[in-house]
Structure 1
């Protein structure tokens, strides 16, 4: 195997990706190297390429929804073997010694190492991570479907698990897109009564097919008013401002608004709305390695998969433009065709 990793990288903010090679150096004792067969594209990849968050180091190889096979292992790696199918998500490492890591919440580690922050990701023939973050894939889960679960999938699965969603609960999902279309599937198979909120009536039938029992146009004030006090949970997957008082009013007493969409504007919370009904607003990032493994098992058991469109990795710029234009339905996956 060549020491050089072949990839596609942005050399400056907002630049088109171009072929790129780099020497990753010696494999560390606690690392694995994964030969990438597929890599999903997340909107976070686009944000990093455009340096929207001000933390991108260029050149940047994006990609944090990689699936493939273990190609090399360090001397301290446990539980993985060469040739095993695995996936790598947003997180590539953590300190393994803080209270969060020792408590199983590696995703909350203050020293968390992100796969594409200060390091190169999965738009490449190989990617590296600490071995704990290379999660084995169930046999029945296709490699092309697996990648988006490692970021988009676990982003909506984790709050359902962390905040105590139960089968008798009623949950609303805001936004039927890259995150929301997976949330509908998870919540349905969880056994919940599911309401989909969408601003597009054209997505009504698809939302029902994905697992929603009810579909409400979020711009219909009369329909929204009828939901007052009826939902135990609402999961917001969108990154745009909403009519938050109306959303909160749809929650039952002790209901929770779970925010996973990165809205850049502050969210105004009417104090009396949460005080009098004992409601709460909470957030959630990705999940820990254990949570990712549970999500993969749940997905395999219930035949849950993202709806994907595939592009060859050599057409990565076309794929990014497709995403940027809002045309993705609903996750884009790159198939590795890098010629060495």
Structure 2
């Protein structure tokens, strides 16, 4: 079997055709013929070697959706079959034997298979392999394939904190950033039943934030609106890959409130202990979702109509699509289709 992919052969290079042999299918493995794949900022970061650990050639892509084309001998035939529509997201497998895997926290497994870190085995290809069939997620019929890809990474990343940190429908929550993650977080929070405030530097996004389900809007550029909201939020989810005035955001929380950071800041976080400690506030990090969290997210999104806003490109135009993501101008996710 030969897989045809699109790879960057050096830092920042345009993607070019590349072929590789994935080897013999393992007992738990599943091959998926890719029909759609989302392009995440992390994919662009790997192509551009932003973090210094890319291994070239890089075949990025970790929001792949397609059809099962082959299954290993140990795959449960009642739950996974050839021809089934599935998605392979940020995590394509884990050891399933460590304390974290056995307690349903596969996202913390030290040996998890991060799709985007594989080098030349990502989703910008004719086929992608899940190293464990349990991480090839059946896509609900209500969700189109072009929408399913971004849900597998962006959707799961912003949905999981609601489960992990006990967000309640009675909570008032703030969503920082109205981009690829934030526009989904607003929808999930609205469907969850929360009072939702969108927080953005750009006042131009207010109308769209309200249309997505926000009940209120705070503009942070050249205003004191966030400072005036001190002590009002139960939970704040930061989705932006940027440095923020962390003390101001912590001050906006109620006592015992939680600031969940899923967007990667550019610099070390500077925090005044007095803002954090006396009111027992928390700062928590976020990583891709566990298997069960992803399953729950897909079901919730299907029932409540949570969908990404996507721009679609044919796979042949992937370099134009990557450039669109790199520029930061996409509204809000980019997907390529075979």
TM-score (norm 2): 0.97
* Residue in structure 1 matching 2:288, options 274, 286, 295: 286
For residues 11-61 of structure 1, the C-alpha deviation after alignment (integer angstroms, 9 at most, x for no partner) is: 111111001111111111110000111000000000001111222111111
Q: Tell me the residue number matched to 1:17.
A: 15
User: For structure 1, which segment, 162-171 or 47-56, has the greater mean C-alpha deviation from structure 2 after superposition?
Assistant: 47-56
C-alpha separation in 1, matches of 2:224 and 2:2: 60
User: For structure 1, which segment, 219-228 or 37-46, has the greater mean C-alpha deviation from structure 2 after superposition?
Assistant: 219-228
- Residue 126 of structure 1: CA displacement? 0.5
Q: Tell me the residue number matched to 2:230.
A: 228
Q: Tell me the residue number matched to 2:251.
A: 249
Q: Tell me the residue number matched to 1:61.
A: 59
Where does structure 2 lack aligned partners over 5 or more consecutive residues?
none
C-alpha separation in 2, matches of 1:29 and 1:242: 46
* Residue in structure 2 matching 1:50, options 29, 35, 48: 48
Q: Does 1:30 align with 2:32?
A: no
Where does structure 1 lack aligned partners over 5 or more consecutive residues?
none
The CA RMSD measured in Å over matched residues stands at: 0.9
C-alpha separation in 2, matches of 1:112 and 1:53: 19
SS for the counterpart of 2:34 is: strand
Matches within 5 A, 1:1-340: 3-78=1-76, 79-119=79-119, 120-129=121-130, 130-336=132-338
For residues 159-215 of structure 1, the C-alpha deviation after alignment (integer angstroms, 9 at most, x for no partner) is: 111000010000000000000000000000000000000111110000000010001
SS for the counterpart of 1:215 is: strand
User: For structure 1, which segment, 215-224 or 101-110, has the greater mean C-alpha deviation from structure 2 after superposition?
Assistant: 215-224
For residues 108-162 of structure 1, the C-alpha deviation after alignment (integer angstroms, 9 at most, x for no partner) is: 1011111131341111111001211101111111011000001111110011110
SS for the counterpart of 1:290 is: helix
Q: Which 4+ residue blocks in structure 1 deviate beyond 3 angstroms? A: none
